[in-house]
């Protein structure tokens, strides 16, 4: 057997249907499209989303609303009441200390101290942001708020 003798299996290859090529072909004149109507015309037929004249599903569903700011910066909130219960007087409250105490999960997260609750211990706070009310409470208790470099 040589390369020239190779043939496809019998029945595996089929000639394409040549429509509109005379009455003897079986698909002459109307080319297998029937007599008249939308489907007999060139480009005829319904669109992909056509639902028989009823309003299509894509038009019945509500549009997506809203806006997502890609520049938004998320801070993890930590209240002064949590600092009061987890830290001792003289401690430094920073990312590593917050992770060690289990208040936040990762020390790469941005943290903002908020003023909910009361604080009586003098602590030094070194986090990304501190609200004005939290800073006032910390300093009133004898603590310090140092900005992060």
> For residue 149, what pLDDT band results from cuts at 50, 70 and 90?
low
pLDDT tens-digit series, residues 118-132: 999 999 999 999 999
- CATH architecture of structural domain 74-145: Ribosomal Protein L15; Chain: K; domain 2 (3.100)
* Tokens, residue 12: 């595996």
Q: Is there a contact between 87 and 50 (Cβ–Cβ < 8 Å)?
A: no
pLDDT tens-digit series, residues 81-119: 999 999 999 999 999 999 999 999 998 999 999 999 999
pLDDT tens-digit series, residues 10-57: 999 999 999 999 999 999 999 999 999 999 999 989 988 999 999 999
């Amino acid at each position: 057997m040589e390369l020239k003798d190779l043939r496809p299996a019998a029945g595996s290859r089929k000639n394409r249907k040549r429509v509109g090529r005379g009455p003897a072909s079986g698909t002459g004149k109307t080319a297998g499209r029937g007599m008249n109507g939308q489907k007999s015309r060139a480009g005829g037929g319904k669109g992909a989303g056509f639902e028989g004249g009823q309003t299509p599903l894509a038009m019945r569903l509500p549009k997506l609303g809203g806006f997502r700011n890609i520049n938004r910066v998320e801070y993890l909130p930590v209240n002064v009441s949590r600092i009061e219960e987890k830290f001792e007087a003289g401690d430094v409250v920073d990312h590593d200390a917050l992770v060690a105490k289990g208040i936040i999960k990762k020390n790469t997260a941005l943290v903002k101290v908020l003023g909910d609750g009361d604080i009586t211990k003098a602590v030094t706070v070194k986090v990304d942001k501190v609200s004005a009310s939290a800073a006032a409470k910390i300093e009133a208790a004898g603590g310090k708020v140092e900005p992060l470099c």
